[in-house]
Amino acid sequence: MTPPMATVRTRFAPSPTGALHLGNARTAVLNWLFARRHHGAFVLRLEDTDTERSVAGGEAMIYEALDWLGLGPDEGPREGGPFGPYRQLARADRHRARAAQLLESGRAFRCFCRPEELEARREAAIAAGEPTGRDARCRDLPAEDMRRHEAGSHPAAIRLRVDSGPVEFTDLLKGTLTIDGDDLGDLVLVRSDGRPTYNFAVAVDDIDMEISHVIRGVGHLSNTPKQVLLYRAFGVRPPGFVHIPTVLAPGGGKLSKRRGAAGVLDYRDRGFHPDAVLNYLSLLSWSAEDGEEFLSPEALVERIDLDRLGAADTEVDEEKMAWLSGQHLRAEPAERLARRWAGVLDVQGLGLEDADLRRAAEVFAKRTRLVADARAELESIFRAPDLGGAAARQVLSAPEAATATRLAREAWGGTAWRPEPLALALRDAMRESGLPGRGFFPPVRVALTGQPHGPDLGEVAYALGRKRTLERLAAALS
């Protein structure tokens, strides 16, 4: 295990364009885990500059998903922090100031070409088989032309001077990569209407927010050399870049609403345990050294190690996520599972108190994978038994029924109220009765639940509680 690094600052930088899907959530998970692992800061920055794609409530949806997963940021639009504002649109002053700084140092220049001229020259270059990026006739304008342009009303774009020759950058997963400066050309940083370009805003914000590690989807790899050039232009050391593989829909292909539940909150609504979704997402392209898969958030924080990330795209496997959900539900203190069940059960209608749910959680958690899995079972156990039905009447009218029910009541009256002693006491009572199991147990079960089949009777009685159990046995006897 690597020792903690000094001042790790990671960021999650979603655009508020809709519900957070599993792929983006996985990016958030790795950034959060890595920041926690190194006692650093996890920053949420909203990239809201594409106002046409932003949706109303987009920010709230992102927070709702992060909160559910337990990935609360240390700094962000809601939290505030020393590097704010945390919405990109509100950082326009910083973007302008940083562009002015590059003009001042001579690393950037004003370009007075109109977009249509640039486009026409681009097409001509393509036709002639020449590189298209290297079109910067304003790069070294004679001072006189410059003054003339500046005096005119035509607004200028701001572009970065990018020299020919290799631009090298390093990605933790892919190693050192190189692209030629000619293929990038003199990057536009600020458009002639004053809006910063995507890569300029991202790099300036990452620099200003002192981000130490940029962990993001592999789709952003082609942006990285452009951003690295900006770090160099500002004389700032680039962060560690980690481009993580893509999360694919079950069966392959892009994640979407149509292919399984793509949104993080869809999994909440289907009853998955949040820690299981976090656990699952962390395992998509990472594995613990000893191969352990069921890991609590704390265990993940302790073990996460970017050196163990794989580069292959992975399909969502809901079966595995459900298995993990079962593991996490089982490991949860009964108190917390009881609270989850309180949200999906008709607690009032069933006359349940906190203590009832807690006891039920102790014995029935092992039978569940999703939060709502135990609902039908709990309802059938706690609902007052219908002793008037044909099947129940048949069992209870058997000659041995009264004996079994009475002996059960006597045995349980003095038993410690735990599932195992209750089961043992019932077995002793059966032996004492001289009745076979198939004659003894069914009436007891029907008396308790009205059903001929169900889980272990010691567990059922334990969940029902002493008072309810003894009352039900008495009611069946009368």
- Nearer to ligand GLU by Cβ, of 46 and 392: the residue is 46
Q: Which stretch binds ligand GLU (CB under 6 A): 13-21, 126-134, 229-237, 269-277?
A: 13-21
**Catalytic member of 226, 254, 257, 467:** 257
- Nearest approach in angstroms of CB 87 to ligand GLU is 12
Binding mask 161-200 for ligand GLU (x = CB under 6 A): ----------------------------------------
Asked if residue 371 lies in contact with residue 344, where contact means CB atoms within 8 angstroms, the answer is yes
- Nearest approach in angstroms of CB 12 to ligand GLU is 8
- Nearer to ligand GLU by Cβ, of 33 and 448: the residue is 33
- Nearer to ligand GLU by Cβ, of 309 and 324: the residue is 309
Judged by CB under 6 A, which of 8, 9, 14, 279 binds ligand GLU? 14
Q: Is the dihedral of CA 101, 104, 109, 110 positive or negative?
A: positive
Number of residues engaging ligand GLU in binding (CB under 6 A)? 7
Helix orientation angle between 375-382 and 457-464, rounded to the nearest 10 degrees: 70
Q: Which stretch binds ligand GLU (CB under 6 A): 9-17, 95-103, 240-248, 454-462?
A: 9-17
CA angle (218, 220, 221) in 5-degree steps: 70
Rounded-to-integer distance, Cα 31 and Cα 240, Å = 12
Tokens of 408: 């059960």
Pick from 86, 61, 87: nearest CA to 74? 86
Q: Would you call 257 a catalytic residue per the annotation?
A: yes
Element (H, E) at 155: none
Rounded-to-integer distance, Cα 171 and Cα 163, Å = 22
Asked if residue 202 lies in contact with residue 94, where contact means CB atoms within 8 angstroms, the answer is no
- Nearer to ligand GLU by Cβ, of 25 and 113: the residue is 25
Element (H, E) at 184: helix 181-184
Whose tokens are 């309180």? That residue is 342
The distance from CA 268 to its chain's CA centroid, rounded to whole angstroms, is 10
- Nearer to ligand GLU by Cβ, of 50 and 119: the residue is 50
Q: What CA dihedral angle connects 437, 441, 443 and 445, to 10 degrees?
A: -160
| Residue 87 near ligand GLU by CB under 6 A | no
Tell me the H-state helices in 264-333: 264-269, 274-282, 297-303, 318-331
The distance from CA 335 to its chain's CA centroid, rounded to whole angstroms, is 24
- Nearer to ligand GLU by Cβ, of 14 and 73: the residue is 14
- Report the 10 Å Cβ neighbour count for 421: 14
Q: Which stretch binds ligand GLU (CB under 6 A): 10-18, 233-241, 275-283, 303-311?
A: 10-18
Q: Which stretch binds ligand GLU (CB under 6 A): 7-15, 160-168, 316-324, 429-437?
A: 7-15
- Nearest approach in angstroms of CB 215 to ligand GLU is 8
| Residue 243 near ligand GLU by CB under 6 A | no
Rounded-to-integer distance, Cα 217 and Cα 23, Å = 8
- Nearer to ligand GLU by Cβ, of 217 and 421: the residue is 217
- Report the 10 Å Cβ neighbour count for 19: 18
Q: Which stretch binds ligand GLU (CB under 6 A): 11-19, 174-182, 394-402, 419-427?
A: 11-19
| Residue 13 near ligand GLU by CB under 6 A | yes
| Residue 15 near ligand GLU by CB under 6 A | yes
Q: For residues 194-233, which are near ligand GLU according to CB under 6 A?
A: 202, 216, 220
Under the rule (CB under 6 A), what is the footprint of ligand GLU?
Answer: 13-15, 47, 202, 216, 220
Residues with catalytic annotation? 257
